[in-house]
Amino acid sequence: MAKKAIFANERSVFGDFDEKTLQDPGRSIYELDGYSDKRRHAELERRAGRPSEPIPYRFQFLPSQRPNGQADRRKISEYLAKGYKIVKYDEADSYGIDLTTSAAVKDVDGNVLVGSDLLFVAPASIAAREDHFNKQRIDTQVASTLAPITDQVDETGKPIFTFEEEGYNPK
């Protein structure tokens, strides 16, 4: 005789929740009120083809140690050389960010810390410069990757593939 399967509907000890709660992934531990919301809005405006108000600062969390707990300040040194500075917890509101709603804590040196990541800030001019350099590096990498593909021609000498501003368009 075959055994019958038993199905159970497990319920949480915390009760039920609505669909909105189910769809909400929660906040990132790196969310900064006064910055993350403005940056998200600016990105959405840009994607829609509308101008947005420039963001005066760029914030970046950087690791201060390796996963094994050993101190590692390589990224910190790199960003200091680029012109970023460490954000002090007591100065955060001067940059327009509200740490009271974040996961950030004040470390023993007075810095903003999330986990083992320190918060850095740069003015918009430095952030724009770094964004420009990053885009140049990406364009160079993409061009070197696409060159072997775009150099291919059919028997008549016509290019097999072309890439236009709008995206990939095989001919």
Query: How many folded domains does the chain comprise?
Result: 1
Q: How far apart are CA 104 and CA 93, in angstroms?
A: 13
Task: Output the pLDDT for position 153.
Answer: 67
Q: How many residues are there in the chain?
A: 171
How high is the pLDDT of residue 28? Answer: 87
Within a domain: residue 98? yes
Give the rounded distance of the alpha carbon of 22 from its chain centre.
Answer: 23
pLDDT, residue 156, reads 77
In-domain check, residue 86: yes
- Token duo for residue 63: 């690791």
From first to last of its 171 residues, what are the pLDDT tens digits of the chain? 667 766 656 666 677 777 777 666 677 899 999 999 899 899 899 888 999 888 999 999 999 999 898 999 999 999 999 999 999 999 999 999 999 989 999 999 999 999 999 999 999 999 999 989 988 988 888 777 766 666 666 777 777 666 555 555 544
* Paired residues of 117 in beta bridges: 63, 114
Q: Residue 132's closest CA among 124, 121, 120, 144?
A: 124
For residue 3, tell me if it sits in a domain. Answer: no
Name the one residue in this structure whose structure tokens are 């140690």. Answer: 65
Q: For residue 38, is it within any domain?
A: yes
Phi, psi of 34 (to 5 degrees): 100, -15
Backbone φ, ψ for residue 51 (5° rounding):
-70, 155
The parent domain of residue 111 ranges over: 25-170
Question: Is 82 inside a domain boundary?
Answer: yes
